[in-house]
Amino acid sequence: MSFDVQKVRADFPILDQKVYGKSYIYFDSAATALRPVQVLSAVEKIYKEFNGNPHRGAHYMSNQTTVAYEAVRDKVASLINTPKREEIIFTKGTTESINLVAYSFGEAFVNEGDEIIVSEMEHHANIVPWQMLAQRKKAILKVLPITDKGELIIDELDSLISKKTKLLAINLVSNVLGTVNPVKEIIEIAHKSNVPVLIDAAQGIQHTIVDVQDLDCDFLVFSGHKLYGPTGVGCLYGKEKWLNDMPPFLGGGEMIEQVSFSGTTFNELPYKFEAGTPNFTEVIGLGAAIDYVNEIGLENIANYEHELLVYATEKMKTIEGIRFIGEAKNKASVISFLVGNIHPYDMGMFLDKMGFAVRTGHHCAQPLIDRLKIPGTVRLSFAFYNTKEEIDLFIEAIKKVITMF
């Protein structure tokens, strides 16, 4: 299918909104993506037509919800090519997925003196849970450094890995730098030392084809709301061999096999990790988002977004005093930058008043911002509903802001 940006834009009614009386230009999809009408309708349909708690009731609507909810597990399994549907756990998002692994994997496999490796370019969601685990278990957090251009120094991985290394947690795409990390190569290195790897695909799943069997990752996590789905839903993929040996994270309904006051036995995968009423509405909305993305085709999305990235980068180079933060060879459609001495918050504030939604600040990656010795960045992140015309308007707007300083 050929890609028609105007056709897809019609699926995103929010793009017709005005802010401060101006056209709304959304360059903040890395924070949270917009949702197409197909997702909005799926969510509305559940509340209007077949509300029912999945797995719980024997009644008609509960069964309907159960079937729809479990069908999304199959859609996710197919999206990331998991060998077994039971290896997909629904969570609240990337953050909860990583916390689940940090807690449960940590309980089962991490002891005093053991080591966990993360990189210098991680989001707080892929740092803090490991720090909390390290504190709880008296373990050690080690950090894989990056170059000034924003690429991982993979050559240092071998010397960071030791007999004490229990897990490596790394992102597929950096939310600040846009760097696409060579995770397959990293996983191969880690596996040579029998170190399992968790991939934070929060910024990757919406831009590239992710195949967990090809990657051979041990865990992979992502959020629905960055994949054009609803908020409050995310996924954890884990190899069965790990998930089976990990204790539950949250206790409650549905994650049990048998409960008595003398003790409880737990349900099988994936339910062992899905305590309580799940966000079934959002899960079903995520299913609609996956259908939508599949219909456009991830390859078409990736190609078009790459075109936008190259177009914007080349045009932005003409802005006097611009400094790109993140100049990796392989980048997703994220551009972080600074101009002269203009503070990113000031730039963001003026851009906001002109109708542009960009993100400014440390982007929940303070250690990375400290490493780069900058106050933060202005970040624009594209999705397939953005256009070159919007980029042109953005560049004019930046030039206008510069004249104000």
Provide the annotated active-site residues.
364
Closest approach of ligand PLP to the CB of residue 160, in Å: 20
List residues near ligand PLP by CB under 6 A.
93-95, 123, 125-126, 171, 175, 200, 202-203, 223
Tell me 209's DSSP state: -
Terminal CA-to-CA distance of the chain, rounded, Å?
Answer: 46
For residue 307, CA distances in Å to 304, 332, 387 come to 5, 11, 10
Tell me 146's DSSP state: B
Closest approach of ligand PLP to the CB of residue 202, in Å: 4
Closest approach of ligand PLP to the CB of residue 20, in Å: 26
Q: Within 13 Å of residue 22, how many CA atoms lie on the same side as its CB? A: 14
Closest approach of ligand PLP to the CB of residue 249, in Å: 15
Closest approach of ligand PLP to the CB of residue 311, in Å: 23
- In the bound state with ligand PLP, the residue whose beta carbon lies nearer, of 82 and 99, is 99
CA 247-91-209 angle, to 5 degrees, is 110
Closest approach of ligand PLP to the CB of residue 7, in Å: 28
Q: Which amino acid appears at position 278 of this protein?
A: P
- In the bound state with ligand PLP, the residue whose beta carbon lies nearer, of 93 and 238, is 93
- In the bound state with ligand PLP, the residue whose beta carbon lies nearer, of 114 and 151, is 151
Q: Are 222 and 205 in contact (CB under 8 A)?
A: yes
Q: What is the C-alpha radius of gyration for the chain, rounded to an integer number of angstroms?
A: 22
- In the bound state with ligand PLP, the residue whose beta carbon lies nearer, of 165 and 175, is 175
Q: Are 53 and 276 in contact (CB under 8 A)?
A: no
Q: Within 13 Å of residue 119, how many CA atoms lie on the same side as its CB? A: 30
Alpha-carbon distance of 364 to 171, in angstroms, equals 14
Alpha-carbon distance of 81 to 78, in angstroms, equals 5
Cβ–Cβ contacts within 10 Å for residue 257, how many?
Answer: 11
Q: Are 142 and 303 in contact (CB under 8 A)?
A: no
- In the bound state with ligand PLP, the residue whose beta carbon lies nearer, of 178 and 248, is 178
- In the bound state with ligand PLP, the residue whose beta carbon lies nearer, of 339 and 344, is 344
